[in-house]
Chain A
């Protein structure tokens, strides 16, 4: 079932397309993704010609391509109005199977669910080297294989199919797989991999900053059963990761990018992370694991104004209740029109495999944090929860600050926020209508709070804390 990863590349449903052109495109996508995700190599360069820098010939490319070229699929499945969410080949998973063996799946209803999978057809489709990468320019016929500079692929040892490919990938002598993966995990936590170019370990990539550490982590990871959880624990409990990101003038001057890791990482949260932060700190987060994707708040008309009106995803129907408060990774992503708030925070549009996102800093990000319904709702719900507690304004502000920034406010910060709170109370007192409107934010059930003025003033303070640079930055 994990082969679904290989099948869920972008798929066209445009009526007039040429079947073979797109079938080849899909197989290329899989080949490129395989190269980038598992080997951190720019395989796509060898789609049209021998790689200019790395030892991947065009023939190697199509030999790798051959592993993925046996799926009995079509480039065009059919009319979009007839299209299903899972094109063949697919498997059907029943509740019985989930109860018996697939217990890690969270499937809420009882109807069987269909998912796309890889499958090798009984008929062996010949694979050609495609001259200049053109789908119908057939060159010589090639059999499966992999770039021998990495590790020789002997099909009598590994097997003559994708299982053989997996065995080769996880062979003790494969020099890349474990290194590439631990580097990506390192990047997740430090914002920068030990090899900065986490998608390119080739000649055009950068050398590792700490090669011995990379090797040690990779071997350790492999020798402990490729246990990701263990790897993550090792990284986050290391004294390197636990360092403060406060940097002396001197440290900043000698190593502005913190390549040598003399201080802790300081990076902006991902698109999903920004959402998760708001949900978790305000207490809105639904912690359920797995389940179908959810349709969160989205401005009206985004899908409707940019589709032809055909197909099952022509209209956006927002979810309600618990589905609004699930982690960012569960947000529904329509590839042609991804959630706009996520794109603004450099979320990928899932067009192609990305292993390293940018971390930009733009005015549109400010607009999202200031005005997006979920951010306002989190501020409101958090403020309501604080209002219910028997505590002083100072205690409330301290608690909000602690939950959002994971530290206590300094004296000046606290003074500023408390003064702001009192000023806002005066302001809302002068126009209680504004207070009433402001605290309406979001669909989440409202607490009964009589002192609307204090609630609104506190909500404004909480919203301000959410908008601090530090809130969306790992420090």
Chain B
């Protein structure tokens, strides 16, 4: 090898080492203070950064994703002006030439349409809630509504991918994967990032495993999907004819064989594999115990509604989310499908609301009564909002709404956000934001902040540059922090 190349290699090593010293040691030292096992001879392999950057407000997240984009105008963003102007054309001064989806861009007219459902104010905070969410209405004083969310995408797949990964095109790690990478798991027997799916009765859009991808991060940060079948995590069940004792014996023999191998090759990956088999073994016991909802007391079942005993329903997933979160799962991601009301708003929206209303409110009350709401951040919302004008044939009685990225509503509760407030505001047409806009990147930056992570410092180098969940944007939203 020529001298230049050897020199270059040493140079690289030195430069990299210095780079690590200047950037990294501070956080490494801090990390080791907070997590004593980090540099100890713990038998758990080190797979995360072991952060946080600073004291977190929330330790865990439960994200109740409403997939398909529930209408803000039929739920929480009350716009009486639309009722007054129902049937009238959307003023050009409001639309301001905004691009429309391929589904309504051909429409000759854009008649405004007001909510078919009545709104009332609730709680001390006086939050407006539509009549189809009577239970959420009871917990509004724990909720922080953000009525000024906006996104760059106007169609489901890119918008969902944007909400979940910070980029419209796939292949970036999802939010839960970033949390797992930065913070790791609180529970050695469970994955840090769990995913639960359910489907309502409304028009649905798919959800895809790429939404809970680890992207370019280590695959240990991949979201683990829990299914509603008997086997809650894929390949969790021991084979037919083999029980736990048999499996234990197999693993003991296997460990001895692997150990002989380690003595010969000295590859640390061998020891890691032995430990991973042990974690798998513990998961096989921990997951079925945890997912068994039949032993929950009656008052809890009543709170979440009888549906919570039917695996795969939104209610069951909410209860399961509480249990997983309580057991230390860092990020529990729910997806509830069926919120894509391009038509039949008055038929479908109440059914969708009925599926989620009770269990959502129950989750908040349940966390609160366990003293967990303070350290658990609950997020409710979809990938964008819906238009104030009617899609398809106009009728004030039954109508549809197309996708609307410019202003929509999501809400959060618990874990470090101000309870009982409304942040941001859309105009009286519910079309543009008039106060405190929150971009998807800002939303991500704020959530990371609540978890004790600086969104500009949580990075991973890939393809020649450092990537972040917020990529090159994102501003903290201090106005919602408690």
Contact = CB atoms under 8 A, between A and B. Distances in A.
A312 interface: no
Interface in B156-182: 156-157, 169-171
B235 A14 contact: no
Contact of B206 (A307, A338, A434, A473): A307
Interface string B388-416: 00000000000000110000000000000
A336 B161 CA distance: 11
Nearest to A376: B239
Interface residues of A, number: 98
Interface stretch (B118-126, B222-230, B354-362): B222-230
Nearest to B272: A361
Interface string B431-455: 0000000000000000000000000
B210 A336 contact: yes
B253 A42 contact: no
A435 interface: yes
A410 interface: yes
Contact of A464 (B240, B254, B273, B464): B254
A169 to B, nearest CB: 21
B261 A470 contact: yes
Contact of A207 (B8, B237, B254): B8
A468 B234 CA distance: 21
B346 to A, nearest CB: 22
A467 B254 contact: yes
A204 B266 contact: no
A199 interface: yes
Main SS class of interface, A? loop
Given A10-B170, A16-B403, A469 B258 contact: yes
B280 A367 contact: yes
Interface stretch (B98-106, B295-303, B366-374): B98-106
Interface stretch (B88-96, B131-139, B212-220, B421-429): B212-220
Interface string A341-384: 10111100101100000101111111110111000100000000
Contact of A361 (B154, B269, B402): B269
Contacts of B246: 427, 434, 460
Contacts of B402: 16
Interface stretch (A60-68, A83-91, A243-251): A243-251
A446 to B, nearest CB: 14
Contact of B9 (A25, A207, A464, A467): A207
A333 B103 CA distance: 30
Contact of A206 (B12, B204, B218, B273): B12
Contacts of B260: 410, 412-413
B99 A45 contact: no
A378 B171 CA distance: 33
Contacts of B253: 416-417, 420, 464
A91 B253 CA distance: 56
Contacts of A15: 101-103
Interface residues of B, number: 83
Contacts of A352: 169-171
B22 interface: no
A361 B205 CA distance: 34
Contacts of A469: 258, 261, 269-270, 273-274
A439 B266 CA distance: 36
Interface centre among B222, B227, B235 (most CB of A within 10 A): B235
A212 B1 CA distance: 7
Nearest to B281: A366
Contact of A204 (B213, B237, B403, B465): B465
A246 B264 contact: yes
B280 A308 contact: no
Given A351-B171, A358-B218, 14 more contacts: A245-B265, A252-B266, A266-B265, A268-B269, A299-B231, A300-B229, A305-B227, A340-B234, A352-B169, A361-B273, A366-B280, A370-B238, A371-B237, A376-B239
27 contacts: A15-B102, A15-B103, A17-B101, A200-B463, A200-B464, A211-B1, A301-B227, A305-B197, A308-B205, A308-B206, A336-B209, A336-B210, A340-B209, A346-B219, A349-B210, A349-B213, A351-B171, A360-B220, A362-B276, A363-B277, A366-B277, A367-B283, A370-B238, A433-B241, A437-B241, A467-B250, A473-B269
